[in-house]
Amino acid sequence: MKLIITNIICDFRSQLGPVFTIVAAGRWMTFVTEPEDITTFFQSPNLDFQKAVQDPVSHTASVSTESFFQHHTKIHDTIKGRLAPANLHSFCSNLWGEFKQQLEQLEHHGKDDLNTLVRRCMFAAVVNNLFGAENVPTDKDRIQEFSDIFVKYDADFEYGSQLPPFFLREWAESKKWLLSLFSRSIANMERKETESQTLLQSLTKMVDRPHAPNYALLMLWASQANAVPMSFWVLAMILSNEDVHAAVKKEVQDNLGSPGDEPITEEDLKKLPLLKRCIMETIRLRSPGVITRAVDKPLRIRKYIVPKGHLLMMSPYWAHRNPNFFPEPDKFLPDRWLDADLEKNLFLDGFVGFGGGRYQCPGRWFALMEMQMLLAMMIQMFDFKLLGEVPKESPLHVVGTQQPVGPCPVEWTKI
């Protein structure tokens, strides 16, 4: 679908120019494609992120309009603060322990689908870290059901954001199951007194109590729906590029040594700049097909006035293939990121993988840290070998990180 979107944008742009409007499903959508207009997309006070996403949030998590507008900004800012670079150290040790526990459960030698393997290692670890292991069913006997139901919810999340639930009965059942889970989890959490303050506990205290399970569901989706498939794509791209794989493996071995009982720290991760560049390059290549803003007041873009009520659309997938910013844009070239200062969290010009403006992704620094840590530990602990070609992206979605269209078989041996 992202390729289809890119081709559609390219075709319309060649026929109509850098700003064009289409009508789909009764909605007027104006696309912008030039860098200066993308800046307007993120910075104009005439555009509203919340009004663009409120209806999809209502459909996917049953959050009322009143509750959403009352709490969204506070939730965003709290998550942004809790997961800011200055606070990541407080998550590192626990996250390392959770990843270590999951990785040590893998067989000495095995074969599996790489995407499934990454999810197996990441899902419970991240949920435990953000929600608290005592608050969610991530023990060995229940984690598979929890993960499988989330996968069903995530698979049709985009369709669920637009269609009535009777068209998506299996998806609606997965949503119901997850909401019921969080209702029980939050009720049990409230009966306990704990000194630790998980992100789930912080979230529950700042929203209206009836909607607490609904916001917990959104937080679950936000923490998993992009980080898991993106981690898969990073590892798949590393493994499919022999020279990159050898260099990343050497970097990990030289700086982390053999697996041990000492947690990996933020300072350790800073010694793995090539792995960080691989992550950034993969995010560039696998960014969302489209993101949107609601036009709240008439907006001038070039010689056009975009009326109130339109949706203004921008494609990170398209923007990241601008050869003026990214020469040879379709190639996986991690070293292009040598021109960025990633240690200071400064990205390349033209990169919009985490959105922009007031409501830029609040968990981006945590996501980068967790992906780098997991991938470093996997490469440190195992030798991996692809058993086939890396699959293409799924054609079914334009929102969020794409799942692969098919399996990616991999073999591993514990070092």
Which residues are annotated as part of the binding site for heme?
361
Report whether 2 contacts 289 (CB < 8 A).
yes
Residue positions forming the annotated binding site: 361
Which residues have C-beta within 8 Å of that of residue 24, sequence separation ≥ 6? Answer: none
What whole-number distance in Å separates Cα of residue 155 and Cα of residue 162?
14
SS3 of 373, please?
Answer: helix
What whole-number distance in Å separates Cα of residue 144 and Cα of residue 129?
18
Using the Cα atoms of residue 342, residue 348, residue 352 and residue 356 in order, give the sign of their dihedral.
Answer: positive
Q: What 3 state SS string does 16-39 have?
A: HCCEEEEEECCEEEEEECCHHHHH
Any idea how long the chain is?
415
Q: Which residues pair with 174 in a beta bridge?
A: none
SS3 of 164, please?
Answer: coil
Number of neighbours of residue 257 by Cβ within 10 angstroms: 10
Report whether 409 contacts 114 (CB < 8 A).
yes
DSSP calls for 188-209: HHHHS--S---HHHHHHHHS-G
> Of 277, 301, 292, nearest to 351 (Cα)?
277
Instruction: Pull the structure tokens for residue 202.
Output: 């912080």
What whole-number distance in Å separates Cα of residue 269 and Cα of residue 376?
8
Q: For the chain, first and last CA: distance in Å?
A: 39
For 247-251, which contacts have Cβ atoms below 8 Å and span 24 or more sequence positions? Answer: 247/274, 248/274, 248/275, 248/278, 248/379, 249/379, 251/275
Instruction: Report the interhelical angle of 273-285 vs 227-239 (nearest 10°).
Output: 110
Which residues have C-beta within 8 Å of that of residue 194, sequence separation ≥ 6? Answer: 132, 134, 201
Instruction: Pull the structure tokens for residue 228.
Output: 């898991």
